[in-house]
Structure 1
Amino acid sequence: MPRWKTNLIVLWFGQFMATSGMSMIIPFLPLYIQELGITDKSELAMWTSIIFAGNFLTSFLFQPLWGKLGDRYGRKIMILRSGFGMSIVVALMGFATNTWQLLFLRLLNGTISGYIPASTSLVSTNTPREHIGYAMGIMQSGAVAGTILGPLIGGGLANFVPYQTVFFITGFLLFIASLLALFFVKEQFDKKKAAKKPNISVLQGFNDLRKIPQIPALFSVTFMIQFSFLSVMPLMAIYVQGMHENSQWLALFVGLVGSITGFSNMIAAPILGRLSDRIGSEQILWIALLGAAITSIPQAFVSNVWQLLILRFFMGIFIGGLLPSVNSLLRKYIPEGMESRAYGFNTSSLALGNMLGPITGGFISGLITIPGLFIMSGILLFINMIWVRKTLFVSKNVDQFKV
């Protein structure tokens, strides 16, 4: 088996474990916080939101730093640092005795995270260019699979073992994934060549990348995917309840609506990634953005959950073409030696969308209603598509893509 395929398989498993490990706690986090002594409902809601968001806050702040170090010392060492570090921190969450300790550990976990951008950077730089789209699609499917199955696994385990044990199991699985990366992932990285490059600051690195017009446009796609998708997700149960208020299957409907986009995303990402190797990631990206916008707006006008499920299934297909295309195109436009840094900034964009999406959606839903959030998301995705198409296809800096 070619080395790049071995790396892809091992890091797919690592991506799956990293994302599932972070999402396993979602089903029982409020219950675990209750065990730590928080019983008042308003206080419980506050602590749950703060503890859940803490991981994304520090991840947003620290990813560029880890990206800078990855470009200087290698991506594999960043994978191992993050994987082994998270395995310890997640296991320690099972020993928390109060909410402040749990919050500190969530903040620490976000600080040392970085498995996904480091593995994405390693795969992108060690995969033949003719297979980049396919590899990015496979990596995306691993991350999405973990996001979908993580809550299912965590909720299932919590029915049979104490909540603390779920943290221990998650930490152990992250440790195994890190061991596999240690022994089976091989990286082609010239440390001597990297050491000769100027040691510029994180801010200077961002300014250098910002001057390449395609890169800010690609970062905006990553942010917009998460922002538009998550702005409505916390309110989806309320939206579905409004259509099937008296249904005994309400919980099932809400679960299906929440997961069906991820399933179609997971299926479509490798297929669209391989297609992008044939027709170009630029084409897949703008078409996927347009499709996501078109399938978002009609969700505001559905009259039953089956219509909503169909629209969200097709929306997931289009979303499946976005992040793999972004990662492939970043590899194309990133200057040599700045790959990890750029993927770190891209992950910060994703974390920022994760934070601002739910907050913004919850705040403005009272002004424009939940259906209005679908329309707003569609409009923002359409604007983003125009920016991307103009930047990638019309920019004077990329003559071969002029139209």
Structure 2
Amino acid sequence: MERWRINLLVLWFGQFFVMGGMTMIIPFLPLYLQEMGMSDPSHLSLWAGMIFAANFVTSFIFQPIWGGLADRYGRKMMLLRSGFGMAIVMVLMGFAQDAWHLLLLRMLNGTISGFVPAAISLVSANTPKERIGFAMGMVQSGGMAGTILGPLLGGLLASTMGYRPIFYLTGVMLFIASLLAAFLVKEDFNKEEAKVQPKVSVFAGLRQLGKIPQLPALFCVTFLIQFALLGPMPQMPLYVQELYGRPEMLAFMAGLVGSVNGFSNMISSPILGRWGDRLGSEKILGVCLIGSAIACIPQALVTNVWQLLISRFFLGIFMGGLLPSVNAIIRQYTPDGMESRAYSFNTSTLSLGNLIGPITGGILTATITIRGLFIVSAVLLLLNVLWVKKTLFRKTTSADKDAG
């Protein structure tokens, strides 16, 4: 098997273990706080929100720093630093005795995180350019598989073995993912050549990449995608409750609605990535943005939970082509030797979207309801289409004419 295929296979499992482990704790985080002795509902909601967001805040700040170090010392080194570091932090979360302990550990986890962008950067730098779209789709597929199964497995285990052992299990999963990468992933990285490159600060690197107009545009695309798609998520269980209308199996239905788009996303990502290699990732990105916007509209009009399930399944199909296409296009425009930095900046904007989207969605839902929020998401995704057309298609067309 070709080396790039071996790397891709190993990192698929790495993404699966990392995302599965990280999302296993989501279903019971407020319950874990209750076990620590927190009973006031208002305090519980506040602390659960702060602890959930803490990871994204520090990740947004530190990802570009790790990206710069990855370009200088190697992506695999950053991959292992992040994987083994997060494994230790997860185990420590199982020993937390107070909400403050959990908050600080989540902040530390976001600080040392970076397995996902390092994996994406390593795959992009060691994969033939004509197969980048397929590779990005496969990496997305692995992460999405873990994201789907993680909460389901976490909820099941929490009801049988308690909360603390799940943190230990998560640490083991992260440790296994890191071991697989340590022994099986090979990186084509010239350390001597990287050492002679001038040291560039985070801000200088951002300015340097900012001179390539497509890259800031793509960072904005990533932010808007996450902002639009994550905005309605915290309110989804209440929407399911409204549509379902009875208490029996309500938690199961809410979980199914939350994960059904992940299943279709996991299936469609490699397929759309392969089409991107043939037709151009810009075209796949544009089509998937339009499709995602259209798929948001029925979610505002549904009258029962089964219609919502179907709508979200179709949304997941188009979501499968969004971030992999963005990652493939970033590779096209990023200078050699700066891949990790570019992907780290993109991960920072993704974290920002993950943070601001749900907060803004919660505020807007109080005035326009979640149905109105789906319409807002559709409008944002359609505006994103115009942004992509202005910043990417026009540049590509102009470049093609110049080349001709």
- TM-score grouping bracket, smaller chain normalisation: over 0.9
Which residue number in structure 2 is paired with residue 21 of structure 1? 21
Corresponding position of 1:348: 348
Q: Distance in 2 between matches of 1:265 and 1:304?
A: 23
- In structure 1, the partner of 2:210 is 210
1:27 partner SS: helix
Bigger mean CA deviation after superposition, 152-161 or 53-62: 152-161
Gaps of 5+ in 1: none
Distance in 2 between the 1:22 and 1:368 partners?
A: 32
Q: CA deviation at 1:21?
A: 1.3
Which deviates more, 289-298 or 62-71? 289-298
Equivalent residue, structure 2, for 1:151? 151
Whether the 8 Å contact between 2:141 and 2:266 is mirrored in structure 1 is yes
What's the counterpart of residue 232 of structure 1?
232
Report the alpha carbon displacement of residue 52 of structure 1 after superposing the two structures with TM: 1.1
Residues 241-390 of structure 1: matches in 2 within 5 Å?
Answer: 241-246=241-246, 248-390=248-390
Identity %: 62
Q: Secondary structure at the match of 1:395?
A: helix
Aligned length: 402
1:64-75 alignment to 2 at 5 Å? Answer: 64-75=64-75
Q: Which moved more, 1:73-82 or 1:301-310?
A: 301-310
d(CA) in 2 for partners of 1:77, 1:396: 34
Q: Does the C-alpha gap of structure 1 residues 396 and 96 become closer, same or farther in structure 2, counting only changes over 3 Å? A: closer
Deviation for aligned residue 1:328: 0.6
The 2-side partners of 1:337 and 1:244 are apart by 52
Please give the TM-score of this superposition, normalised by the length of structure 2. 0.97
Give the distance between the partners of 1:242 and 1:293, measured in 2 at CA: 23
Q: Which residue of 2 aligns with 1:40?
A: 40
Deviations 1:134-163 (A, max 9, x none): 111000011111111111111122122231
Conservation of the 8 A alpha-carbon contact between 2:152 and 2:255: no
Cα deviation code 1:251-309 (max 9, x no counterpart):
33322211111111011001101111111111101100111111112321122222222
**Deviation at 1:189?**
0.6
Structure-to-structure mapping, 1:111-150, within 5 angstroms: 111-150=111-150
Letter aligned with residue 307 of structure 1: Q
Q: In 2, Cα distance between the equivalents of 1:336 and 1:327? A: 15
Question: What letter corresponds to residue 10 of structure 2 in structure 1?
Answer: V
Rounded Cα–Cα distance in structure 1 between residues aligned with 2:312 and 2:197: 46
RMSD (CA atoms): 1.4
Partners of 2:213 and 2:294 lie apart in 1 by 26
Query: Displacement of 1:397 after TM fit?
Result: 8.1
Task: Report the counterpart of residue 106 of structure 2 in structure 1.
Answer: 106
1:400 match: 400
* Unmatched tracts of structure 2, length 5 or more: none
Counterparts of 2:393 and 2:246 in 1: how far apart (Å)? 50
The answer on whether the counterparts of 1:124 and 1:132 sit within 8 Å (CA) in structure 2 is yes
Structure 2 letter corresponding to 1:94: G
Query: Which amino acid in the other structure matches residue 246 of structure 2?
Result: N
AA paired with 2:22? M
Distance 1:201 1:257 in 2: 43
Deviating 4+ runs (over 4 angstroms):
none
Measured after TM superposition, the shift of residue 131 of structure 1 is 1.1
In 2: Cα distance, 1:401 partner to 1:105 partner: 52
Contact 1:223 1:352 in 2 (8 A): yes
Asked if structure 2 preserves the Cα contact closer than 8 Å seen for 1:218 and 1:330, the reply is: yes
- CA separation of 1:135 and 1:396: change in aligned 2, threshold 3 A: closer
- Cα distance in 2 for partners of 1:218, 1:334 equals 11
8 Å Cα contact 1:392-1:401 kept in structure 2: no
Change (3 A) 1:307 1:396: closer
Tell me how far apart the structure 2 counterparts of residues 156 and 256 of structure 1 sit (CA, whole Å).
14
| CA displacement 1:316-363 (0-9 Å, x = unmatched) | 100100111111110000111110000001111111011001100001
**Structure 2 counterpart of 1:372, one-letter code:** G
Q: C-alpha separation between the residues in 2 aligned to 1:93 and 1:289? A: 38
Cα drift, residue 247 of structure 1:
5.9
1:311 Cα deviation (Å)? Answer: 1.4
Q: Deviations over 1:99-145 (max 9, x none)?
A: 11111111000000000000100000000111111111000011111
Deviation per residue, 1:17-71 (Å, 9 max, x gap):
1111111101111111111121111111111111111111111110000000000
Cα distance in 1, alignment partners of residues 177 and 396 from structure 2: 44
Aligned residue identity for 2:186: K
Post-superposition offset of 1:240: 2.2
Distance in 1 (CA, whole Å) between partners of 2:232 and 2:80 is 35
Aligned letter for 2:143? Answer: A
TM-score (norm 1): 0.97
